[in-house]
Chains A and B, each alone.
Chain A
Amino acid sequence: MSAMLLNKDKWPEFVGKLSGKVWVPKVEEGEAIRFGPLSGEESKLPEYCNTRVPPKEIVFPETETLYCFQADEHEMTAPEIDERKIIIGIRPCDARAMKIVEKLFRWDVDDPYYLKHRELVTLVGLACNAPGLNCFCTSVGGGPASTEGLDIIMFDLEDRYLLETITEKGEALLKEVEGLLEEAGQDVLAQKEKLIEAAENKISRSVDTEGIAEGLPGLWEDPLWKRVSASCLGCGTCTYLCPTCHCFDIQDETEGFEARRYRTWDSCMFEEYTRHASGHNPRPTRRERTRNRINHKYSYYVDKFDLIACVGCGRCINYCPVNIDIVEILRQVKEAL
């Protein structure tokens, strides 16, 4: 593992030298919305806590063609996935989410699309110096400088970045820009430790997950589900913006002779999600759907993969139009156990 320093004024040169398309957080009207390809005008990373849309869409696009075919014919062709991307500025929670979701996409049968996208991205994370109001990564196995899923982690040291390599992929990337970097000394590493500690202390929200995975199924008929879902609109924002939500629908689309089968993000918060063709719906109301969302993340996924499928990024809290708060739900779960 190497620890190198990059002066911020060398940023344009740094990103210019990398072999692969560089993606960074894009700011629109003062808010970091989502990651996008670097354009010529950007001479530095923007100021941001995290993007509204998680970078999961880079490895798991909102809609993705599975294969194309001609109407009335039976030849099916899957698109080539071959673009190398370097994601700079991904937050540790979102990189961890990719690692968590990868378990599912590797479970028993490999998902060739997800795994190809994942193979082609290099993740250069940016540790959080100032976590957001609703961040609770430290409660669910992460942290403001977690390196899980990352190839390189960067620390913002005001006028320069400290870059630490995590994987060989990251090591190889730094080789491409060797001339721009200098070795980091002990003083810098000590400074880094202080930053991490300060960031951790700024996280004000927390969940005590002890006993939740085992206890949740036992709360099946608890009145809490009615309570916590009472104001839910079923809009699905919590799942669309969740970096670990990975459920999808498969649909066909035909335009003239060109046809394709594609997958598209779906949400367990939608009524149609589980509705049978007969009209019967095993999760008929928002109570059952909310219960499933929480159980899936905090119990079923733990059962299958020994991981909580939540990284504590806080997006579902920040963007819920009716202020439904997963930390509060989990507090009530804990209370009911």
Chain B
Amino acid sequence: MKTSENPYIPYLATIENAWYETGGERCIKTFKVVIDDKEVRENWNHCPGQSAMIGVLGVGESMISISASPTEGRFLRFSVMRMGKVTQALHQLDPGDKMTIRGPYGNGFPLEEWEGKHILTIGGGIGQAPLRPIIEYVKAKQDLYAGLTMIYGARTSGDLCFKDEFTEMSKCDDLSCHLTIDIEEEGWEHNVGFVPQMLLDLNPSPENKIAITCGPPIMIRFVLENLKKLGFADEQIYTTLENRMKCGIGKCGRCNVGNLYVCKDGPVFCYSVLKNVPEAFA
């Protein structure tokens, strides 16, 4: 069986660059990778919100969201939190090393459907990784969208990902960037407080908006509550789910929430669908 006929055999990719976003026990490392095979690289099409199975041969694979937008070029980015066996092995990789990639998997955000609307992203911690490609995508196609508002928070300033990109973002006209951390810190010039509260304080009008939230389950719960308070309709709210996955192609069985497979039917879900799925926020 050739690779192209066998969805389980991954492509090889070379790490072009790698850096730490955050420190500590559960640190986050970002990898910029390029798929080795020229034909595969050129035919690779992903949309923001999709994921890929990345891995290390001999250790295993993990489903990680692709945090680069296709508008950025023919490379991929993955921001990986050091957690279990596979992510620990990934963290040992440096520029020049190989990782394996299968994908892209899942549905992605319906960005074409959202054209003409104002995009509001609400992220927490590592949850900013699947939101980053939306921001990059909308920035690259500013004419197609009414605007972009980003709310992003983490426990401390050291836990925020993609910090180097914020300064540049705050220079864009149609884009407003709001950062928050949970606890007061010396030298911190932005907001202090939880993400859901910051959303309420900003008080965005739901008119012509799409809100997308990713982050820890507890944050998502309160963000959803607050979006409803602000008058957002279920159809205007999107989130992504994650579950343990093995195959990525709807066969191995474990990632379902109710009758939906996160790997195939998700990871992006509209709240109007999700609110009827009993297991969605388990």
Name, among B3, B12, B253, B264, the residue most crowded by chain A CB atoms within 10 Å (CB to CB). Answer: B253
Number of A-B contacts (CB under 8 A): 119
The answer for the CA separation of A86 and B252 in the assembled complex, in Å, is 27
A74-B98, A274-B243 given; A252·B57 CB < 8 A: yes
A235: CB under 8 A from chain B?
no
Whether the pair A266, B253 counts as a contact (CB closer than 8 A) is: yes
A104 at the interface (CB under 8 A from B): yes
Tell whether, in the assembled complex, residue A249 and residue B249 are in contact, meaning their CB atoms are under 8 Å apart.
no
B61 at the interface (CB under 8 A from A): yes
| Closest Cβ neighbor of A221 among chain B residues | B278
Tell me which of A104, A112, A263, A299 contacts B259 (CB under 8 A): A299
A44 proximal to B (CB < 8 A): no
**B47-75 interface with A by 8 A CB criterion:** 57-62
How long is the Cα–Cα vector from A217 to B177 in the complex, in angstroms? 41
In the assembled complex, B256 has its CB within 8 A of some CB on chain A:
yes
Complexed CA–CA distance, A146 and B48 (Å): 47
Query: CB distance A250 to B58 under 8 Å?
Result: no
Inside 8 A of A273's CB, which chain B residues have their CB?
Answer: 244, 254
Q: A112-B1, A217-B258, A282-B282 are in contact. Are A252 and B252 (CB under 8 A)?
A: no
Which residues of the partner chain B approach A112 to less than 8 Å between Cβ atoms?
1, 5-8
Chain A interface extent, by class:
35 or more
Cα of A247 to Cα of B255 in the assembled complex, Å: 11
- Of the candidates B58, B244, B249, the one whose C-beta lies within 8 Å of that of A276 is B244
**Does A158 make an interface contact (CB < 8 A)?**
no
Q: Are B278 and A250 in contact (CB under 8 A)?
A: no
- Which secondary structure characterizes the binding site on chain B? loop
Q: Of all chain B residues, which has the CB nearest A107?
A: B250
- Asked if B24 CB lies within 8 Å of chain A CBs, one says no
- Chain B residues in 8 Å Cβ range of A76: 3, 9-10, 57
Closest chain B residue to A80, Cβ basis: B1
B83 nearest CB neighbor, chain A only: A277
Closest to A109 in B: B249
> Which B residues lie within 8 Å of A274 (CB)?
243-244, 254
A79 to chain B: closest residue by CB? B1
Query: Which residues on B sit within 8 Å (CB–CB) of A17?
Result: none
The interface residues of chain B lying within 8 Å CB-to-CB of A276 are: 242-244
Per-residue contact bits, chain B 23-57, to A (CB 8 Å; 1 contact, 0 not) = 00000000000000000000000000000000001
Q: Is A254 an interface residue (CB 8 A)?
A: yes
CA distance A278 to B1 in the complex (A): 36
Is B187 among interface residues, defined by CB-CB distance under 8 A?
no
Task: Please indicate the chain B residues that have their CB under 8 angstroms from the CB of A280 in the complex.
Answer: 217
Residue of B nearest to A272 (CB): B244
> Does A14 sit within 8 A of B, measured CB to CB?
no
Would you call B246 and A250 a contact (CB within 8 A)? yes
B18 within 8 A of A: no
Which of chain B's residues has its CB closest to A71's CB? B58
A334 within 8 A of B: no
Complexed CA–CA distance, A278 and B87 (Å): 11
Contact with B along A53-76 (1 / 0, CB 8 A): 000000000000011010100101
A220 touches B278 (CB 8 A): yes
Complexed CA–CA distance, A254 and B5 (Å): 25
Compute how far the CA of A295 lies from the CA of B282 in the bound complex, rounded to whole angstroms.
Answer: 16
Quick one: CB contact mask for A254-275 with B, threshold 8 Å, 1 for yes? 1000010101001010000111
Contact status A108-B264, CB under 8 Å: yes
Interface residues of B in 230-252 (CB under 8 A from A): 242-244, 246-247, 249-252
In B255-282, the 8 Å CB interface with A consists of 256-259, 264, 278-279, 282
In the bound assembly, the distance between CA atoms of A220 and B1 in angstroms comes to: 43
Contact of B58 among A254, A263, A266, A304 (CB under 8 A): A254
CB of A275 within 8 A of CB of B253, answer no
User: A48 on the interface (CB 8 Å rule)?
Assistant: no
B259 touches A250 (CB 8 A): no
Residue in A246, A250, A251, A278 whose beta carbon sits within 8 Å of that of B83 in the complex: A278
The residue among A69, A111, A247, A282 with the most chain B CB atoms within 10 A of its own CB is A282
How many Å lie between the Cα of A277 and that of B63 in the bound state? 11
A31: Cβ under 8 A from any B Cβ:
no
> Which of A95-116 touch B at CB < 8 Å?
104-105, 107-113
With A69-B58, A71-B58, A78-B6 already in contact, 19 other A-B pairs whose C-beta atoms are closer than 8 Å: A74-B12, A109-B251, A111-B251, A112-B6, A220-B279, A246-B253, A248-B251, A248-B253, A249-B252, A250-B252, A252-B57, A263-B246, A266-B253, A274-B243, A275-B244, A277-B87, A282-B257, A295-B259, A300-B258
State the B residues within 8 Å of A (CB).
1, 3, 5-10, 12, 57-62, 83-84, 86-87, 98, 100, 217, 242-244, 246-247, 249-254, 256-259, 264, 278-279, 282
Taking Cβ atoms with an 8 Å cutoff, the residues of A that contact B are 66-67, 69, 71, 74, 76, 78, 104-105, 107-113, 217, 220-221, 246-252, 254, 259, 261, 263, 266, 268, 273-278, 280, 282-283, 288, 292, 295-296, 299-300, 303-304
Q: Could you list some 12 contacts between A and B, CB below 8 A?
A: A71-B58, A76-B10, A78-B9, A217-B259, A220-B278, A247-B252, A252-B58, A261-B8, A282-B257, A296-B256, A300-B256, A300-B259
Which 6 residue pairs are nearest across A and B when measured between Cβ atoms? Answer: A247-B253, A277-B84, A277-B83, A282-B282, A300-B259, A220-B278
